[in-house]
Structure 1
Amino acid sequence: MTPKYQQRCIVTGGAGFIGSHITERLLAANHAVTVIDNCSTGRVENIAHLQNDENLTFFNTDIRDRAAITSYFAGVDWVFHLAALGDIVPSINMPDAYFSSNVDGTYNVLEASRNAGARRLIYAASSSSYGIPDIYPTPETAEMRPQYPYALTKWLAEELVMHWGLVYGLPVVALRLFNTYGPRSRTSGAYGAVFGVFLAQLIAEEPFTVVGDGTQTRDFTFVTDVAKAFISAADSEVTNICMNVGSGGTYSINRLVELLDNPAGVVHIPKRPGEPDCTFADVSQIKEKLNWSPTVPFEDGVQVMLDNIDYWREAPVWNAKSIADATREWFKYLDKHDEASS
């Protein structure tokens, strides 16, 4: 008798931005997928088009509730751990919530995976943990220099993941993601990633709020390429390793402004301390280990975002004043941090 599915998978944060794309791709490959998401930043709408797939199960549960999630892991093969608080700026104001979700939550997922005998666990680590690196493109051997609580909690969780691999033999891979963008990126009320901010401003016919002079560059990596990296890591024998996931390039905010072509123009807001002028991944290791390469050119990815712009119609529209209010604590603490480091 032909099995109904190939692998039994769990995607924590599977109703979120990247998680929903991983869920979609796993189901298309005839895997069974259990999504665990408390929808604090994810949206059920992100997986609504998959709801009739008999291989999909959804639990609206918080990974911080270990007793609640443990039973979901019975018989699991692959675990994709993406559930986390992901907006950077609010982490300054809410370090306790970020630690609880990103570190304690990861511990719960690791223990549930270990006790269930999971065959693979792939963790969504963050390139923000590199802080302001000395080397570009940045290799995995670069020193970790987290500048704010979000980056720190993602790194602490990565350390937990690798430790569980070392001590308990759980087969783990940590993928350090660089500036992922694409359809379904977060539309939460928090001030966050540049794409969501710009697209909501474009819809509202408001000017783009460009940080600094816009010459800073980011390794914008399209979400479908990132989803492929996760599944390639799960469907491999590579274990106990951290690998960068990037686009192979780095692109200025001014180039993004040019591609989005906002008739309302731009306004410039102060550069934020603690943020690098460049993010640029060295992806040679993941290319070698997994035979993975990014395939979506930046210009094509931006066009996909414009084609899906209605997704951001209900997103908050930020302006210079509201951003200044949202980042006041950021400047209060990280300006001091920069002075102490200089």
Structure 2
Amino acid sequence: MNITHKKILITGGAGFIGSNLCEYFLSHENKVICLDNFATGHHHNIKPFLTNPNFKLIEGDIRNLETCRNAVEGVDFVLHQAALGSVPRSLIDPLTTNEVNVSGFLNMLIASSDAQVKRFIYAASSSTYGDSVELPKVEDFIGKPLSPYAITKYVNELYASIFNSAYGLETIGLRYFNVFGKNQDPNGAYAAVIPKFVMQFINHESPVINGDGMFSRDFTYINNVVQMNEKALLTTNPEAINTIYNTAFGDRTTLLDLINYIKEFLTKFDPAIANVEVLHGPNRAGDISHSWASIDKAKKLLEYNPKYSLQEGLSEAISWYWENLKK
């Protein structure tokens, strides 16, 4: 079952996850509005949609309430992906991170509630688990946040809960775990680790692992994340609404294993990559040691069934990276 013939606002729609959501929902005969200020999103991610009559781009900032009100007009659902990501960036500039991720989020909640949007799905974060050492991570047990970014994403969850109880807005938060896939930007100081490593290997440059490489993550292919967003829109189970879900594959991989998988897949395209050395650097401030999601709640309440393991996702993603990052 798919969502069809709905009007969906995707904030941050020119970003990595947002553009994949735009593509998916357009392919199922929905009208899609993309709101983006292009601070971290890219025009090339949405270029294929610009000629689609069911696609509309609003270039604007969620920190402006009137922009948010304009964007939600007549919308059935909101998929709120817009945020200023990155733990390191938030440590350097906590003020801007808070303005976008908290004030901007609140603007979107207000606009969506006032416009009587049917449901508000938002990108939460595994960073909310903070210093909790419990594995796997279960939604109801979190620790203390370890960065300004993590604080903002937890505040989002608190605001979403209040907007349901006080104003009746249906909300669902999706705690993303280390998402990767096509359209993910490998450039810049805050690039995600997988496309950054891939680009370095393609250029025969030595990637640097933070620490000894034994930190582990629940790497999650973008198609699993798209599935979770649609499941969150489709559910009619009252118990499944107004809550938080881990959005992951439900397994963990060390950084050392990850980099070996990447090297193995890329060597099929360029055998010389097998000889590129991997370096080690210091641990990164604000990083958690291990991240591994329990997805039992999503399986039970949303009938979530992730199709792609890390290796299966990497196999698809690296073919895309090879064609697009070596240009």
Q: Which moved more, 1:215-224 or 1:229-238?
A: 229-238
Question: Which residue pairs with 1:43 in the alignment?
Answer: 42
Write out per-residue CA displacement over residues 117-166 of structure 1, whole angstroms, 9 at most, x where no aligned residue.
10000010000111132211110011242101111111112211121111
Show the 5 A alignment for 1:245-260: 245-260=247-262
Quote how far apart the aligned CAs of 1:247 are: 0.6
State the match for 1:266 in structure 2.
Answer: 278
Aligned partners of 1:289 and 1:219: how far apart in 2? 21
- Please name the residue that 1:333 is paired with: none
Correspondence 1:191 to 2:204: no
- Specify whether residues 12 and 188 from structure 1 end up closer, same or farther in structure 2 by C-alpha distance, changes over 3 A only: farther
Cα deviation digits, residues 151-209 of structure 1 (max 9, x gap): 11111122111211111110000011111111111345223321122122112211110
User: 2:186–2:199: 8 Å Cα contact kept in structure 1?
Assistant: no
Would the aligned equivalents of 1:87 and 1:190 in 2 still touch at CA under 8 Å?
A: no
* TM-score of the aligned structures, taking structure 2 as reference length: 0.91
Q: How does 1:307-326 map to 2 (within 5 A)?
A: 307-309=319-321, 310-313=323-326
CA distance in 2: counterparts of 1:107 and 1:192, whole angstroms? 26
1:147 paired to 2:146: yes
Q: What's the counterpart of residue 295 of structure 1?
A: 307
Correspondence for 1:286: 298
Q: What SS class does the counterpart of residue 308 from structure 1 fall into? A: helix
**Residue 218 of structure 1 aligns with which residue?**
217
Determine the structure 2 residue equivalent to 1:200: 199
2:292 alignment partner, SS class: coil
CA deviation vs aligned residue, 1:45-94 (integer Å, no higher than 9, x gap): 11212222211101111111112231221111100001000122111111
Aligned residue type for 2:16: F
Q: 2:288 is matched with which residue?
A: 276
2:6 is aligned with 1:7: yes
Hey, what does 1:239 align to over in structure 2?
Answer: 241
Does the 8 A contact of 1:191 with 1:197 survive in 2? Answer: no
Farther-moved stretch of structure 1 (300-309 vs 226-235): 300-309
Instruction: Look up the SS of the partner of 2:120 in the other structure.
Output: strand
Structure 2 equivalent of residue 69 of structure 1: 68
Q: Name the structure 1 match of 2:266.
A: none
- 3-state SS of the aligned residue for 1:11? strand
Equivalent pairs counted in the alignment come to 310
Structure 2 segments unaligned to the other structure (5+ residues): 264-272
Shift of 1:313: 4.6
User: 5 Å matches for 1:99-178?
Assistant: 99-178=98-177
Q: Structure 1 residues 301 and 62, CA, compared in 2 at 3 Å: closer, same or farther?
A: same
Shift of 1:304: 2.1
Query: Which string of whole-angstrom CA distances, capped at 9 and with x for unpartnered residues, describes residues 292-338 of structure 1?
Result: 12111211211223212243458xxxxxxxxxxxxxxxxxxxxxxxx
Structure 1 window deviating more from structure 2 (266-275 vs 32-41): it is: 266-275
- Secondary structure class of the residue paired with 1:285: helix
Find the residue that maps to 2:161 and give its secondary structure.
helix
Partner of 2:15: 16
> Residue type of the partner of 2:324?
Y
Q: Distance in 2 between matches of 1:182 and 1:163?
A: 33
Task: Measure, in 2, the Cα distance between the counterparts of 1:51 and 1:199.
Answer: 29
**Most deviating of 188-197 and 126-135:** 188-197
Q: Which amino acid aligns with 1:230?
A: N
2:88/2:286 contact within 8 Å kept: no
Q: Is the 8 A contact 2:182 2:317 kept in 1?
A: yes
CA separation in 2, counterparts of 1:292 and 1:181? Answer: 18
Bigger drift between 13-22 and 295-304 goes to 295-304
Q: Given the superposition, is the C-alpha separation of residues 64 and 159 from structure 1 closer, same or farther in structure 2, using an over 3 Å criterion?
A: same
Output the amino acid matched with 1:152: I
Cα deviation, residue 35, structure 1: 0.4
- Once residues 113 and 44 of structure 1 are traced to their aligned partners in structure 2, the CA distance between those partners, rounded to angstroms, is 25
TM-score, normalised via structure 1 length:
0.87
CA contact (8 A) 2:128 2:142 kept: no
Q: Is the 8 A contact 2:187 2:196 kept in 1?
A: no
Aligned partners of 1:114 and 1:170 also within 8 Å: yes
In structure 2, what is the equivalent of residue 324 of structure 1? none
* Paired residues of 1:89 and 1:192 also in contact (CA < 8 A): no
Match of 1:181 in 2: 180
The answer on whether the counterparts of 2:7 and 2:74 sit within 8 Å (CA) in structure 1 is yes
Counterpart residue number, 1:331? none
Q: 1:32 touches 1:56 (CA, 8 Å); kept in 2?
A: yes
8 A Cα contact 1:132 1:274, kept in partner: no
| Residue 33 (structure 2) pairs with residue 31 (structure 1) | no
Q: Is the 2:160–2:171 Cα contact (8 Å) retained in structure 1?
A: yes
Deviation at residue 274 of structure 1 after TM alignment: 3.1
d(CA) in 2 for partners of 1:165 and 1:37?
Answer: 25
CA RMSD of aligned residues (A): 1.5
